[in-house]
Every structure is written in structure tokens, then in C-alpha cells.
Structure 1
Amino acid sequence: MIKVLVVDDDKMARRGIIAEMPWDLFGMQVVGEANNGERALEFLKNEAVDLLITDLAMPVMSGLDLMRQVQQLYPHIWFVVLTFHQDFELIQEALRIGAIDYIAKTQIEHAKMEDVLGRISERIGRNRLSSFQAPVTVPAGQSIDAASMLVFIAVDGQQIDFSLLSGCPFLLGKPMQEISLGMWTVLLEQEMFDEAVAGMKADLIERGLNKQVAIIEINDLQGADKENLRKRLLLYKERSFFYEYENPVFYYTFTADRLNTEYPGWTDEELRTNREAWSSLQWIVQVNVFDELLQEIGKARPSVAQLESIFYTAKNNWLRIVPEEVVNMTDMPGSRSYWQEWTSWLNGVRGRLRGVVIKSSYSDEISNSIMKTVDYINQHLDSDLRHSDLAREANMSKGYFSQCFKEIVGRTFHDYIRDARIENARLLLVQTKQPIYRVAEQCGYPNEKYFSRVFRERMGMLPSEYRQETAKV
């Protein structure tokens, strides 16, 4: 049983998480709760805990400071952080400290709690297994005396009937070793010939295993270090397999040296750049931009957590222009999906957004110019955005610019800026504790009174009242 401690200064949020999560389904039990980091440390002195779920923004002691101390005192404890979807600098710092996942508070009410805990449970399993020493049968420094290896990987979170798999004719008499949760290996004296591969495929299809497991034949293994190979396989399953698996294909083959290829993922700056690119709608208008962004992801192979963080932010930016029912027509791929599903989802989203953004009466050049203006506005909400300046930048007269902007974006130039600023203010009021005048400045309102009046006109209450109301939810 995995023992869980939930730490959040917001009592309602804390109790909601404890009540809503299906802990029992994943062998978890909440053994305690705390409203700040200091009380969490006091609890840990007397109670055994395996998983710490903590908010990042808390009084007395922040979630990051709590994680640092717990890491020193109780290095066996796993961390999951609670945060808002745009606190990505804090999320990145938490991941550097050792968090295995994060939960965005803004999506809890919409997410399937079973999927959230399933993802966390799966990552705990991977970390737990990858932290083990090599099995006695695979001592460090010992080389492999085999030409090839079959690697079996359970796909889509499937629970594989091991007896059904191990009973396949092509595996009879060959010992299987489980080196990770849902990952087995079998050593072969020689590479498989085409006829043998065809027979293996037919046997798996007959047993219905082709939809539950992928097989990778790895050749040129002779002399490879067993422990190093095990580690490389774990890394491959964690990162590369996510990008390379393409259903319904279930058989793959490559040589062992391919496992040595390392993919850098994204630095904080690269993550920020890609987040801005996907938040923009340039990839909707220009297919070459879309292709380049996909290629960038395929080249760097960022983690699934980084992908999720990018597209949660991007979806909120798309909503400033596109109706919510268009963006949310299909849900973002789940935690057990593969890059194949992500690209399919993105192609579908692009098609729907393009139908809204691209108007038949305007050329792609005009639409692209307006989208660039929208991007500029979103990135400079704290600046003095002048109608005439942006029209000039778009190479249009002020009147024609206004016409194009309204028909393509669906709102007038001034209405869009006002709504974008109010939406940004709303997020800052909920996610930060900055004073009202500072929020006003960051949203392009140097006058706090004027900002409060505009905010009340749009939201039906003053900024201070909005902050108080949302804090109760």
C-alpha cells in the first residue's frame, strides 16, 4: 500500500483531492494532510509516507522548500505537485528537485481522477523498478552471450496475461525476464528470419496479443554489457518508445547501437519558446510552421509532462479567438497515449481551428498577418497597444485592418484587447497574491480605478471581490 500525505494551505482544495481521488484502485491510502510545509515535516517525523502531494504556493514554507527538505531527510518519498496550469517555471523547478508528476488544479474538476492516479501510479512503478539493482541473473559487468533479443512492451496501459504470452510457440523453452513493469526480454542465439517473424506475428494475432503488446527485435547484441543494456532499455521505454510506437504495427527491429542515441528534451528556454509557438495560431494558417513544430518535437523528444504543459497553456490561448466547443470537441490525449495519438489530435484541432480562422474572403497572407497581430497583442498585454501602430505593422490602412481583424478574429480590435487583458487579469488574481495595482499594470492598465471599473463591467464584480470569491471555491 502506497501511503500518501496531501499538503495544501487551501482546506477545500485539500479535502476535495482526498475525497475525489479513487485511491483504493491503485493501492494508495491517504494517511494524513497538512496545511503548510512545517506541519508536513512534523507529520513525517511520526508517520511513514511514500508519496507526498504538495501545493507549491503556500505560506510559512513553500512547496519547493518542503520538497528540498524532504529529499534530504526522506529520500525514498516521491513527490507530486499541485499547481495552476501556467506556473511552469515553478513546475520545472519541482521536476528538477525530483517531482515525478504534477496535477493542474484548474483541470481537476474536468479530468478523470482515475487517469490522474493511474499516471502517477505508473510512474511510481517505473521509478521503483528502475531504482532496483540488477537481478542476480544479470550482474553488472557481465556481457551478453547472444546475438539478438526480443523485447515485449505492454501498450496502452494494458494488463498482459503473462501465461498467455509465455505460452506462445515461438517462446517455448526460452526463459523470459521482466526487467520493468510491463516489459519483458528473451535472448535469442541468432536473428529471426522472415518466416519466423511471420509465424510469430500470426501467433500473436491469433491470441489477440497484437493489440496488447509491441515486440522489438534488437540485433548485434554480442558482447554488450547486460546491466548497461537494461538501463538503456528502461530509458528507451520511457522516452523513445512513446514517439516510435505506431498502432497497428506491433513488430519493430533495430540494432543495439540505436539504444545509445540520446534525446535532449527541452531546456526551460526551449520549453518557453515552443509553448509560445503552439499558443500562437501561426501553425493554423501556415502548414510549414505546423510541420516545423512537429519536427522540432520529434527531434528533441520532450517528456510527456513537457508536452502536456505546452498544450494546456496553448488551449487557453486558442480560446481567446476560437469558441470553446471547437477547441474541446476532442479531448487532449491521455497519459497512456503515444505520439501517434498526439499528432492525430493536433491535425484534427488544426483542421477545426483553420475552419474558424481562415475566412474564404481573405487570402492566407491577410489571415496570417492578422494572426501575427493577435500573437503580438497576447505577448504585450502590459504595453500601450495602439490601433494605428499595429495596422501600420500589418501593412494595412486603419479601416481595412479593423475590418479584417473583426471578421477573422470575431471581435473588434479594441474588444479583443480588452477581453485578453481581463482574462489575463483574472488568471493573475487567482494564481498570484500580487496587489491589485500591480495586476492592473501587468494587464496594460496604469490606472487602478479605471482597471477596476472595466473589470467590474466584464465580470460583474471588482477585482478584489473576484479574488475573494474564487478563493472560496
Structure 2
Amino acid sequence: MIKVLVVDDDTLARRGIIAEMPWGAFGMTVVGEASNGERALEFLQHTEVDLLMTDLAMPVMSGLDLMRQAQRLYPKMWFVVLTFHQDFELIQEALRLGAIDYIAKTQIEDAQMEEVLGRISERILRIQDVVRPAAVSGSLEQGDTVDAMIVFIATNGRADLAPLWQCVFMQGKAPQEISLGMWAVPMEREMMNGAVEAMTRELVERGLDRQVMVLHLYGVRGANRDQLRKRLMQYKERALFYEHKAGIFYYTYAADQLPAEYPGWSDEELRAYRNDWSSLQWIVRIDLFEELLQEIGRARPSVAQLESLFYTARMNWQRIARSEVWAEQGMPGIDSYWTEWADWLNAMREKLRDIVLKSAYSKEITTSIMSAVDLINRNLDADIRHSELAMEANMSKGYFSQCFKDIIGQTFQDYIRDARIANARLLLAETEQPIYRVAEQCGYPNEKYFSRVFRERMGMLPSEYRQNKIKV
């Protein structure tokens, strides 16, 4: 029996899923339930689980964070996510993390339980096939002739790739699914030596080069199957995003050279780099801009972290840029790669430089105002004094105010207020800190005053904003 753990912060939804779905008919049994990621990890310490079924948006620890930790601790575990249709970006990140499927809760409400479990059961059976020694060769026997494999990765995660299996080079081969959107085909290395050109040509002719990435993996004989599968999942989730180059769809790796770990960012590092990108210093300093790009390439943060970072930073950029800039330069989509993000950032830098540096003021004055904005963004919890920043910029208070408004497009006080409200929105959406603590970190003397200002700007109280789980 496949042992299932159901994780959802909505008690009624969780109990409904457990009670209503025909688990036994598909060889499954529910061994436990949890209301958040932390409790799920506690449960996993003492109970064996094969399939973790988790909601994505939960307090304390989200479903995505739970998947990341469980994948590291229990590499053989399968994941299915529970969500609503509007959580599309979260679904895509879950698939990148290795979820084998997702369940829209409306399917359960519409009594499509058998269809849902049947699909999941079939997918698990396919994955079980691929991790057997004869398939993905996790611990290939010494006498096994298979020393290479071709891995196909659907670029949109769920492509219909029926034409792929009809290719000449696939005849007599049985593609086996590693995870949703990723298939492996064992190949003899001798066969691969003369087949690469013909294979790539046929993929291009069928238009499949726009639908799949091809990973030619050699040296798989003797590789540990669990480690190999885990590395392939990590490659799909993280490395491919950073290594993909426009116009190139074929990549070659030795099995032992597949990246095993990615530094990523801690929550503290993510907040620090949000501040760096929210600052306007990188607009006027090319050295800082290149340094920040290099840091992303080094750490290889997840796509979810990138989206969170630049969604917040973009709100700060919008305070100084005309609205038409954002219509022309929308953020890259969920199916984009790092090269497209880098191109977008270069384009945004040029747009913002045109706005900031083509003012009537000298570069020295503009740089001083950018430094003042940076100080504001980094010290939102402090008593920010107008006169002190003017002195720091070596200007009179009146001249500093005029320069600030002309360059930034807002008065000094309006900018501080909006920056504090933006920070409050971030803290309310991403943390469980009490309202009074959020108020303190945003520079408000007490919760009552903070709530009044927040309601004036956002049309609702901080507690209502958090309850609605509005994305920042």
C-alpha cells in the first residue's frame, strides 16, 4: 500500500479529502494528517510516508518549503500539491520542485476523486518503472551495457510530446517518466556516438526543439539510482533555468558532474538582496549592477525567490518611473529562463537611467539623491530625519527637497510613507509577526497609528490584508 500524508491548514478541506477520496481502490492508505509544514516534518520523523499531498499556501511553513525540506530528507518520497486554479505560479514552482501532479480542489468538490487518484496512481507506477535498475540504472550492474541515457524535459512542464515517441531514433525504445514533464531513455553509448546529429536534426524538423530540452547523460553505469534521480530533479528545477541559452536545446553531462546542491538564499539573504535591488544605486553604478547579477548566478536562487525579490523591488522602481515603462517592460513569465531575466534587468536599467539621469541635475546631485533613497529603504524602522539626509547630501534642506521631488517624482515624506507601507505589505504577506511588531519594523510608533495609516492607503486594516493573503 502507498502510505499517504495529507497536509492542509483548512481543517474541513483536509478532513474532507481524507474521508471522501477512494484511497483503497488505488492501493493507497492515509497514515496521517497535518495542518502545516512544520507539523508534517515532525510527523515524518516517526512515520514512513510514500506520498505527501500538500496545500501550497499555509501559515508557519508553506507547502513549497515543506517540499524542499522533505525532498532533501526523504528523496524517495512523491509529492502531489493541493491548490486552487488561481495559484498558477505556485503550481509551476511545485512542478519545478518535482511534484508529480497537482489537484485543483474544485475537482474534489465536483466529485472527480476517482479520476484524480487514478491519474496519480498511474503516474507513480511509471516513476517506479524508471527507478528500477534496468531503467534509470540507479545502481546499474557492472555487466550492464547501458552507459548513457537521453533525458527529455518539457519546456512548459506539461507538453503533449506524442510526436517525440514517433521519432526514428526512438523506435524500439521505451521512454520512462522520471517526474512530471521529464522522461528518460536508456541508450548504449556506442549508439549515441553516431546518432546525435541525426537525432537533433529530426527534433528540429518536427518542431520539438521548441518543446523539449535534451540532456545527454553519459557515465551512468554504476551510478546510484536514487542519487541520479535526485540530481536530475534538481537539474530540472534549478540548473536548467540558469544554464539554458537561447537557441540551444541539447546539453551533455557526465552523470557525476550533474550539480548536487545549489546555495540559494536564506530568508535573511533574500531580504538583503531585496534591499540592494530596491535601491537605485545599481542604476547609476555599473559595477554594483554586475556584482548583483554575478551573485544571482553564483547562488542560483529558486525561481520563486527571484519572483519575490523583483516583485518587491519593482514596486520601489515604480515610484520614480512613468507608468508606460511597466507596460512595455513586464516581468519575465513563469516559463522564462535566467537569460531572459538578465535581458529584462538590462532593459530596466536603461529605462530607469533615462528617467533618472536625464533630469536637469548633474550626475553628482542625482547620485546623492539615489544614496538618500538607499538610506531610506535600508532604515525604514528608524526615525528618518529630513535635515540629516540633506546634510549627508551636502545640500540645504530646501534644495534637497526640490531635487528629491524632481528626480524621484514624489516628495520626501510621500516616498517614506509609501516605502513603509510597501514594507508592511511584504511583512504581512510573508511572515506571521504580530501587527505591533510589523508596525515597529516599518517605523511607526504604535500599532494604532500604523493601522490608521495603512487603512488610509490600502482601504483595509493590516489584519484584513493578511487574512486575504494578498500577494506582494
Instruction: Quote the residue 1:233 is aligned against.
Output: 232
Instruction: Quote the residue 2:336 is aligned against.
Output: 337
**In structure 1, C-alpha distance between the alignment counterparts of 2:149 and 2:454, rounded to whole Å:** 64
* Aligned pairs (5 A) from 1:35-54: none
| 8 Å contact from structure 1 (residues 327, 349) kept in 2 | no
* Residue aligned with 2:416, SS: helix
Q: Deviations over 1:410-446 (max 9, x none)?
A: 122233223334555566678878466x665444343
Alpha-carbon distance change, 350 to 185 in structure 1, aligned in 2, over 3 angstroms: farther
| Residue identity matched to 2:262 | Y
Q: Deviations over 1:178-205 (max 9, x none)?
A: 4333222331333756x75433322212
* Aligned pairs (5 A) from 1:284-363: 284-323=283-322, 326-327=325-326, 329-363=328-362
**In structure 2, C-alpha distance between the alignment counterparts of 1:331 and 1:50, rounded to whole Å:** 45
* Residue aligned with 1:190, SS: helix
| 8 Å contact from structure 1 (residues 318, 327) kept in 2 | no
| Residue identity matched to 2:283 | I
Instruction: Quote the residue 1:416 is aligned against.
Output: 415
| 8 Å contact from structure 2 (residues 428, 438) kept in 1 | yes
**In structure 2, C-alpha distance between the alignment counterparts of 1:83 and 1:364, rounded to whole Å:** 47
| 8 Å contact from structure 1 (residues 357, 409) kept in 2 | yes
Alpha-carbon distance change, 147 to 452 in structure 1, aligned in 2, over 3 angstroms: closer
Q: Deviations over 1:194-225 (max 9, x none)?
A: x7543332221211111112223334x17442
Instruction: Quote the residue 2:120 is aligned against.
Output: none
**In structure 1, C-alpha distance between the alignment counterparts of 2:138 and 2:255, rounded to whole Å:** 19
* Residue aligned with 2:265, SS: coil
Q: Deviations over 1:29-78 (max 9, x none)?
A: xxx537xxxxx6x9858876999xx9xxxxxx974555456656784333
Instruction: Quote the residue 2:370 is aligned against.
Output: 371
Residue 125 (structure 1) aligned to one of 100, 106, 131? 100
**In structure 1, C-alpha distance between the alignment counterparts of 2:352 and 2:405, rounded to whole Å:** 16
* Residue aligned with 2:258, SS: helix
Instruction: Quote the residue 1:217 is aligned against.
Output: 216
Instruction: Quote the residue 2:154 is aligned against.
Output: 154
Alpha-carbon distance change, 288 to 180 in structure 1, aligned in 2, over 3 angstroms: same
Residue 13 (structure 2) aligned to one of 24, 33, 36? 33
Instruction: Quote the residue 1:274 is aligned against.
Output: 273
**In structure 2, C-alpha distance between the alignment counterparts of 1:229 and 1:3, rounded to whole Å:** 25
| 8 Å contact from structure 2 (residues 239, 259) kept in 1 | no
| Residue identity matched to 2:406 | E
Q: C-alpha displacement at 1:375, in angstroms?
A: 2.0
Instruction: Quote the residue 2:114 is aligned against.
Output: none
**In structure 2, C-alpha distance between the alignment counterparts of 1:428 and 1:293, rounded to whole Å:** 23
Q: Deviations over 1:98-118 (max 9, x none)?
A: 4989999xxx9xx95555545
**In structure 1, C-alpha distance between the alignment counterparts of 2:247 and 2:212, rounded to whole Å:** 11
Alpha-carbon distance change, 161 to 442 in structure 1, aligned in 2, over 3 angstroms: closer
Alpha-carbon distance change, 63 to 359 in structure 1, aligned in 2, over 3 angstroms: farther
Residue 135 (structure 1) aligned to one of 128, 132, 137? 132
**In structure 2, C-alpha distance between the alignment counterparts of 1:146 and 1:351, rounded to whole Å:** 51
Instruction: Quote the residue 1:402 is aligned against.
Output: 401
Q: Deviations over 1:234-285 (max 9, x none)?
A: 3322221121122321122343442155432223333232222222222222
* Residue aligned with 2:157, SS: coil
| 8 Å contact from structure 2 (residues 93, 303) kept in 1 | no
**In structure 1, C-alpha distance between the alignment counterparts of 2:95 and 2:379, rounded to whole Å:** 40
Alpha-carbon distance change, 339 to 330 in structure 1, aligned in 2, over 3 angstroms: same
| 8 Å contact from structure 1 (residues 218, 254) kept in 2 | yes
| Residue identity matched to 2:132 | P
Instruction: Quote the residue 2:282 is aligned against.
Output: 283
Structure 2 unaligned residues grouped into runs of 5+? 72-78, 102-122
Q: C-alpha displacement at 1:125, in angstroms?
A: 0.8
| 8 Å contact from structure 1 (residues 282, 372) kept in 2 | yes
Q: C-alpha displacement at 1:409, in angstroms?
A: 0.7
**In structure 2, C-alpha distance between the alignment counterparts of 1:214 and 1:74, rounded to whole Å:** 35
Alpha-carbon distance change, 140 to 248 in structure 1, aligned in 2, over 3 angstroms: same
| 8 Å contact from structure 1 (residues 152, 214) kept in 2 | yes
| 8 Å contact from structure 1 (residues 134, 140) kept in 2 | no
User: 2:53 matched to 1:78?
Assistant: yes
User: What fraction of aligned residue pairs are identical, expressed as a percent?
Assistant: 44
| 8 Å contact from structure 2 (residues 175, 183) kept in 1 | no
Q: C-alpha displacement at 1:377, in angstroms?
A: 0.9
**In structure 1, C-alpha distance between the alignment counterparts of 2:291 and 2:80, rounded to whole Å:** 28
| 8 Å contact from structure 1 (residues 153, 215) kept in 2 | yes
Alpha-carbon distance change, 81 to 346 in structure 1, aligned in 2, over 3 angstroms: same
Instruction: Quote the residue 2:164 is aligned against.
Output: 165
| Residue identity matched to 1:356 | I
| 8 Å contact from structure 1 (residues 358, 364) kept in 2 | yes
**In structure 2, C-alpha distance between the alignment counterparts of 1:256 and 1:213, rounded to whole Å:** 20
Alpha-carbon distance change, 3 to 248 in structure 1, aligned in 2, over 3 angstroms: farther
**In structure 2, C-alpha distance between the alignment counterparts of 1:306 and 1:434, rounded to whole Å:** 24
| Residue identity matched to 1:134 | V
**In structure 2, C-alpha distance between the alignment counterparts of 1:179 and 1:453, rounded to whole Å:** 53
**In structure 2, C-alpha distance between the alignment counterparts of 1:394 and 1:443, rounded to whole Å:** 24
* Residue aligned with 2:99, SS: helix
Instruction: Quote the residue 1:383 is aligned against.
Output: 382
**In structure 1, C-alpha distance between the alignment counterparts of 2:91 and 2:341, rounded to whole Å:** 21
Instruction: Quote the residue 1:184 is aligned against.
Output: 184
TM-score if structure 1 supplies the norm length? 0.71
Q: C-alpha displacement at 1:147, in angstroms?
A: 5.2
Instruction: Quote the residue 2:75 is aligned against.
Output: none
Q: Deviations over 1:84-135 (max 9, x none)?
A: 9xx9x9799756654989999xxx9xx9555554554664217968788822
| Residue identity matched to 1:239 | R
Alpha-carbon distance change, 148 to 330 in structure 1, aligned in 2, over 3 angstroms: same
**In structure 1, C-alpha distance between the alignment counterparts of 2:454 and 2:294, rounded to whole Å:** 41
Give the stretch that moved more between structures: 70-79 or 292-301: 70-79
- Residues matched between the structures, number: 420
Q: Deviations over 1:431-465 (max 9, x none)?
A: 878466x6654443437787678668x5498xxx7
**In structure 1, C-alpha distance between the alignment counterparts of 2:458 and 2:230, rounded to whole Å:** 57
| 8 Å contact from structure 1 (residues 280, 375) kept in 2 | yes
| 8 Å contact from structure 2 (residues 275, 377) kept in 1 | no
Alpha-carbon distance change, 429 to 300 in structure 1, aligned in 2, over 3 angstroms: closer
| 8 Å contact from structure 1 (residues 67, 97) kept in 2 | no
| Residue identity matched to 1:77 | L
TM-score if structure 2 supplies the norm length? 0.71
**In structure 1, C-alpha distance between the alignment counterparts of 2:315 and 2:140, rounded to whole Å:** 51
Instruction: Quote the residue 1:29 is aligned against.
Output: none
Q: Deviations over 1:130-172 (max 9, x none)?
A: 788822523635245345433322212352434x323323344
